[in-house]
Amino acid sequence: MSQSFTGSCLCKNITYRIDLPASEPVPEIVLCHCTNCKHYTGSGFSANIIVPQTSLNFTEGTPKLYLDRNDRGGQVRRTFCANCGSPLTSQPSGEDRMIVVKSGTLDDESRANCGKLSMEIYHQRKDRWTDALGQEGVQRINGMW
């Protein structure tokens, strides 16, 4: 038995599959508050799972590569769909074993099967408003406003 997770970009030109041995722990969520992730995702932070590079296979389409720099001057390989713009993966240079996958691109069922939030990186760059997530005083609506 293995655990598999599937996902796609918004337009579904690109689909992927992650196959992990059953013995591997369920991938947990890692948030990144770095400035580049804010720009890359257009959001307050990126939400990710980190999986072995060899477990990830693109099953449809090929993402476009953008070579980014981190704040230490190191290269970060970021991939995205050239058609709809969804960010898909990122990988710091020197890291060839693990790859970061944007958890929002997982299919609903696969996303539901991920583990808990386990880590927040670049915590010092966290947007102040994110402290209100899950707190009182925020209007909560199911569906659009």
The yes or no reply on residue 11 touching Zn ion (CB under 5 A) is yes
Which position among 7, 16, 18, 34 is part of the footprint of Zn ion (CB under 5 A)?
Answer: 34
Looking at the chain, the number of H-run helices and the number of E-run strands are 2, 10
Q: With CB under 5 A as the contact rule, which of the stretches 22-30, 32-40, 49-57, 126-134 interacts with Zn ion? A: 32-40
Q: Does 9 bind Zn ion (CB under 5 A)?
A: yes
- Whole-number Å distance between alpha carbons of 105 and 87: 8
DSSP output for 12-72: SSSEEEEEEETTSPPPPEEEE--HHHHHHHTSSSEEEEEEEGGGEEEEES-PEEEEEE-TT
Position among 3, 13, 43, 70 found at the interface with Zn ion (CB under 5 A): 13
Cβ(33)–Cβ(125) below 8 Å: yes
Q: Which of residues 72-101 bind Zn ion (CB under 5 A)?
A: 81, 83-84
Number of residues that bind Zn ion (CB under 5 A): 9
Binding of Zn ion by 32 (CB under 5 A): yes
Least gap, CB of 14 to Zn ion (angstroms) = 6
Task: State the nearest-atom distance from the C-beta of 103 to Zn ion, in Å.
Answer: 13
CA dihedral for 62, 64, 67, 68, sign (positive or negative)? negative
**How far is the first Cα of the chain from the last one, in angstroms, to the nearest whole number?**
43
| Of 24 and 71, CB closest to Zn ion | 71
Residues near Zn ion, by CB under 5 A: 9, 11, 13, 32, 34, 37, 81, 83-84
